[in-house]
Protein backbone atom coordinates (compact mmCIF):
# COMPACT_ATOMS: atom_id res chain seq x y z
CA UNK A 1 0.00 0.00 0.00
CA UNK A 2 1.29 3.45 -0.93
CA UNK A 3 1.94 5.73 2.05
CA UNK A 4 4.11 8.47 0.46
CA UNK A 5 3.59 10.52 -2.70
CA UNK A 6 6.61 12.39 -4.04
CA UNK A 7 5.70 15.35 -6.26
CA UNK A 8 7.85 17.13 -8.79
CA UNK A 9 7.00 20.85 -8.88
CA UNK A 10 7.54 22.55 -12.24
CA UNK A 11 5.08 21.13 -14.73
CA UNK A 12 3.29 19.06 -12.07
CA UNK A 13 2.12 21.44 -9.34
CA UNK A 14 2.60 24.75 -11.11
CA UNK A 15 3.63 25.70 -14.62
CA UNK A 16 6.50 28.12 -14.18
CA UNK A 17 8.09 26.89 -17.40
CA UNK A 18 7.00 29.96 -19.43
CA UNK A 19 8.65 32.16 -16.78
CA UNK A 20 11.82 30.06 -16.83
CA UNK A 21 11.83 30.08 -20.63
CA UNK A 22 11.48 33.86 -20.70
CA UNK A 23 14.34 34.29 -18.20
CA UNK A 24 16.63 31.87 -20.00
CA UNK A 25 15.98 33.41 -23.42
CA UNK A 26 16.64 36.91 -22.06
CA UNK A 27 19.92 35.67 -20.62
CA UNK A 28 20.89 33.72 -23.75
CA UNK A 29 20.37 36.88 -25.81
CA UNK A 30 22.56 38.87 -23.41
CA UNK A 31 25.24 36.18 -23.66
CA UNK A 32 25.03 36.17 -27.46
CA UNK A 33 24.18 32.48 -27.73
CA UNK A 34 21.34 30.64 -29.46
CA UNK A 35 19.89 27.54 -27.77
CA UNK A 36 17.36 25.80 -30.06
CA UNK A 37 14.09 24.67 -28.47
CA UNK A 38 14.91 21.01 -29.10
CA UNK A 39 18.11 21.43 -27.07
CA UNK A 40 16.33 23.48 -24.41
CA UNK A 41 13.78 20.65 -24.01
CA UNK A 42 16.55 18.26 -22.94
CA UNK A 43 17.24 20.50 -19.93
CA UNK A 44 13.82 19.77 -18.37
CA UNK A 45 14.36 18.22 -14.94
CA UNK A 46 17.90 19.60 -14.61
CA UNK A 47 18.95 22.11 -11.98
CA UNK A 48 19.85 25.63 -13.10
CA UNK A 49 23.45 25.01 -12.07
CA UNK A 50 23.77 21.88 -14.18
CA UNK A 51 22.17 23.60 -17.15
CA UNK A 52 24.73 26.40 -17.03
CA UNK A 53 27.57 23.94 -16.55
CA UNK A 54 26.50 22.31 -19.82
CA UNK A 55 26.09 25.67 -21.56
CA UNK A 56 29.46 26.89 -20.33
CA UNK A 57 31.13 23.86 -21.89
CA UNK A 58 29.09 23.93 -25.10
CA UNK A 59 29.54 27.64 -25.80
CA UNK A 60 32.89 28.21 -24.02
CA UNK A 61 31.33 30.89 -21.84
CA UNK A 62 33.84 32.96 -19.87
CA UNK A 63 31.57 33.74 -16.91
CA UNK A 64 31.65 31.52 -13.85
CA UNK A 65 28.69 29.19 -13.37
CA UNK A 66 27.68 30.87 -10.10
CA UNK A 67 27.45 34.25 -11.81
CA UNK A 68 25.39 32.82 -14.69
CA UNK A 69 23.01 31.12 -12.26
CA UNK A 70 22.52 34.28 -10.20
CA UNK A 71 21.76 36.41 -13.27
CA UNK A 72 19.18 33.93 -14.54
CA UNK A 73 17.55 33.65 -11.11
CA UNK A 74 17.28 37.42 -10.87
CA UNK A 75 15.59 37.53 -14.28
CA UNK A 76 13.23 34.73 -13.21
CA UNK A 77 12.37 36.39 -9.88
CA UNK A 78 11.61 39.71 -11.55
CA UNK A 79 9.30 38.00 -14.05
CA UNK A 80 7.71 35.77 -11.38
CA UNK A 81 6.87 38.71 -9.12
CA UNK A 82 5.16 40.65 -11.90
CA UNK A 83 3.32 37.72 -13.52
CA UNK A 84 -0.30 37.69 -12.36
CA UNK A 85 -1.55 34.76 -14.47
CA UNK A 86 0.36 32.08 -12.57
CA UNK A 87 -1.85 29.33 -11.19
CA UNK A 88 -1.62 25.79 -9.85
CA UNK A 89 -2.23 23.24 -12.57
CA UNK A 90 -5.86 22.11 -12.95
CA UNK A 91 -6.89 19.54 -10.35
CA UNK A 92 -3.59 19.31 -8.50
CA UNK A 93 -4.65 21.38 -5.48
CA UNK A 94 -7.68 19.17 -4.96
CA UNK A 95 -5.51 16.05 -5.13
CA UNK A 96 -2.95 17.48 -2.70
CA UNK A 97 -5.58 18.49 -0.15
CA UNK A 98 -7.36 15.13 -0.43
CA UNK A 99 -4.17 13.12 0.01
CA UNK A 100 -3.11 15.25 2.97
CA UNK A 101 -6.53 15.00 4.64
CA UNK A 102 -6.43 11.21 4.27
CA UNK A 103 -3.05 11.03 6.00
CA UNK A 104 -0.83 10.43 2.97
CA UNK A 105 2.75 11.67 3.44
CA UNK A 106 3.61 14.24 0.76
CA UNK A 107 7.17 15.18 -0.21
CA UNK A 108 8.39 17.62 -2.84
CA UNK A 109 11.43 16.63 -4.92
CA UNK A 110 12.13 19.42 -7.40
CA UNK A 111 15.15 20.36 -9.48
CA UNK A 112 14.39 23.99 -8.67
CA UNK A 113 16.48 25.92 -6.15
CA UNK A 114 15.22 26.31 -2.59
CA UNK A 115 14.64 30.02 -3.15
CA UNK A 116 12.35 29.30 -6.12
CA UNK A 117 10.49 26.55 -4.28
CA UNK A 118 9.96 28.86 -1.32
CA UNK A 119 8.53 31.63 -3.52
CA UNK A 120 6.02 29.24 -5.06
CA UNK A 121 5.10 27.54 -1.78
CA UNK A 122 4.62 30.93 -0.12
CA UNK A 123 2.52 32.25 -2.99
CA UNK A 124 0.19 29.24 -3.04
CA UNK A 125 0.38 28.38 0.70
CA UNK A 126 1.60 24.82 0.11
CA UNK A 127 3.91 24.38 3.10
CA UNK A 128 1.09 23.01 5.25
CA UNK A 129 0.70 19.94 3.06
CA UNK A 130 4.29 18.73 2.63
CA UNK A 131 6.41 17.06 5.30
CA UNK A 132 9.71 17.58 3.43
CA UNK A 133 11.13 19.58 0.54
CA UNK A 134 14.13 18.30 -1.43
CA UNK A 135 15.84 20.62 -3.93
CA UNK A 136 18.03 19.56 -6.83
CA UNK A 137 20.62 22.13 -5.77
CA UNK A 138 21.51 19.78 -2.88
CA UNK A 139 23.05 17.26 -5.30
CA UNK A 140 26.00 17.42 -7.70
CA UNK A 141 24.03 15.77 -10.50
CA UNK A 142 20.49 16.44 -11.69
CA UNK A 143 17.75 14.08 -12.78
CA UNK A 144 17.98 11.50 -14.40
CA UNK A 145 20.40 10.78 -11.56
CA UNK A 146 18.19 9.16 -8.87
CA UNK A 147 19.80 10.87 -5.85
CA UNK A 148 16.98 13.37 -5.29
CA UNK A 149 14.36 10.62 -5.14
CA UNK A 150 16.49 8.33 -3.02
CA UNK A 151 16.76 11.19 -0.53
CA UNK A 152 13.00 11.74 -0.63
CA UNK A 153 12.41 8.06 0.14
CA UNK A 154 14.91 8.25 3.01
CA UNK A 155 13.12 11.27 4.48
CA UNK A 156 9.74 9.58 4.16
CA UNK A 157 10.76 6.75 6.46
CA UNK A 158 8.93 4.35 4.15
CA UNK A 159 10.40 1.70 1.83
CA UNK A 160 10.54 2.63 -1.86
CA UNK A 161 7.84 0.03 -2.50
CA UNK A 162 5.39 2.21 -0.53
CA UNK A 163 6.27 5.41 -2.41
CA UNK A 164 5.22 6.77 -5.79
CA UNK A 165 6.51 9.70 -7.83
CA UNK A 166 4.48 12.06 -10.02
CA UNK A 167 6.63 13.51 -12.82
CA UNK A 168 6.18 15.25 -16.16
CA UNK A 169 9.67 15.06 -17.65
CA UNK A 170 11.76 12.41 -19.36
CA UNK A 171 14.63 13.02 -16.95
CA UNK A 172 12.36 12.93 -13.90
CA UNK A 173 10.77 9.64 -14.89
CA UNK A 174 14.15 8.09 -15.61
CA UNK A 175 15.35 9.24 -12.17
CA UNK A 176 12.31 7.77 -10.42
CA UNK A 177 12.72 4.43 -12.16
CA UNK A 178 16.46 4.39 -11.42
CA UNK A 179 15.53 4.85 -7.75
CA UNK A 180 13.20 1.86 -7.98
CA UNK A 181 10.00 3.87 -7.43
CA UNK A 182 6.64 3.48 -9.14
CA UNK A 183 6.18 6.54 -11.36
CA UNK A 184 3.06 8.26 -12.66
CA UNK A 185 3.81 10.31 -15.76
CA UNK A 186 1.77 13.51 -16.06
CA UNK A 187 1.21 14.20 -19.75
CA UNK A 188 1.01 17.96 -19.50
CA UNK A 189 0.36 20.18 -22.49
CA UNK A 190 2.85 22.58 -20.91
CA UNK A 191 5.77 20.13 -20.97
CA UNK A 192 6.94 19.89 -24.55
CA UNK A 193 8.84 17.05 -26.22
CA UNK A 194 8.96 14.79 -23.15
CA UNK A 195 9.04 10.99 -23.40
CA UNK A 196 6.78 9.42 -20.76
CA UNK A 197 7.10 5.86 -22.06
CA UNK A 198 9.09 4.65 -19.03
CA UNK A 199 6.35 5.70 -16.58
CA UNK A 200 4.37 2.91 -14.96
CA UNK A 201 1.15 4.73 -15.80
CA UNK A 202 0.26 8.08 -17.32
CA UNK A 203 -2.46 10.65 -16.71
CA UNK A 204 -3.50 13.78 -18.58
CA UNK A 205 -5.46 15.40 -15.73
CA UNK A 206 -5.26 15.13 -11.96
CA UNK A 207 -8.95 14.23 -11.77
CA UNK A 208 -7.77 10.79 -12.90
CA UNK A 209 -6.08 10.30 -9.51
CA UNK A 210 -7.52 9.94 -6.01
CA UNK A 211 -6.43 8.79 -2.57
CA UNK A 212 -8.28 5.50 -3.00
CA UNK A 213 -6.59 4.75 -6.34
CA UNK A 214 -3.11 5.85 -5.27
CA UNK A 215 -3.00 3.95 -1.99
CA UNK A 216 -3.57 0.68 -3.88
CA UNK A 217 -0.66 1.21 -6.27
CA UNK A 218 1.44 -0.32 -7.61
Distance CA 155, CA 17 (A): 27
- Best CA proximity match to 109, nearest among 45, 159, 49, 161: 45
- pLDDT above 80: residue 192: no
At residue 16, the pLDDT reads 79
CA distance 90 to 101: 19
**Helix crossing, 170-178 with 147-156: angle to 10°?**
60
Q: Return the H-helix or E-strand segment holding 66.
A: helix 65-82
Give the pLDDT confidence score for residue 144 in this predicted structure.
Answer: 92
Predicted confidence (pLDDT) at residue 92 exceeds the cutoff of 80? yes
The DSSP letter of residue 162 is G
pTM listed for this prediction: 0.81
Alpha carbon distances (Å) from 202 to 21, 92, 182, 185, 206: 25, 15, 11, 4, 10
Q: Which pLDDT value is given to residue 139?
A: 93
Model confidence over 36-70: pLDDT tens digits?
A: 999 998 887 788 899 999 999 999 999 999 999 99
Amino acid sequence: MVTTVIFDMDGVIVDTEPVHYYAYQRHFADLGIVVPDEVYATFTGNSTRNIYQKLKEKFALEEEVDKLVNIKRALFNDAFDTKEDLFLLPGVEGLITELHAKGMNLILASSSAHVTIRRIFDRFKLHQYFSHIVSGEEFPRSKPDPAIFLRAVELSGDPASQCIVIEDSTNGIRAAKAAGIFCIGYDSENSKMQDLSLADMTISHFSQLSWDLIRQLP
